[in-house]
Amino acid sequence: MNGLHVVEPKQAVELWILGVNNRSGTVQYAMLSPTLQKLSREKFEQTHWVTGQSSPSVRNFRLTKIEKLSESIMRYTVKYDLET
């Protein structure tokens, strides 16, 4: 987890999407804010850091909304399709 560093906010979103595609709870967790990490750590631990299942899979990720909330906070809305 320590090696997952990004420079731009969009890179964090893209890396999180990669984690979803690969069912890697570790990657998804690393891209969360410290507050969200605290809220979700137990759930990730319960699933042994594996998310999702073999079916359905996720496809066609797209950023549908990008908001600059402050100088240091961005919000991205991500949509994707489920495929079996």
Q: Give CA–CA dist 36/61, Å, rounded.
A: 21
- pLDDT attached to residue 65: 96
Indicate the helix (H) or strand (E) that contains 37.
helix 34-46
Q: What is the pTM of this model?
A: 0.73
Cβ density class 8-27: b for 16+ within 10 Å, e for less: eeeebbbbbbebbeebbbeb
Tens digits of residue pLDDT in 1-41? 567 788 888 898 888 888 888 888 888 898 888 999 999 99
Which DSSP letter does residue 62 get? E
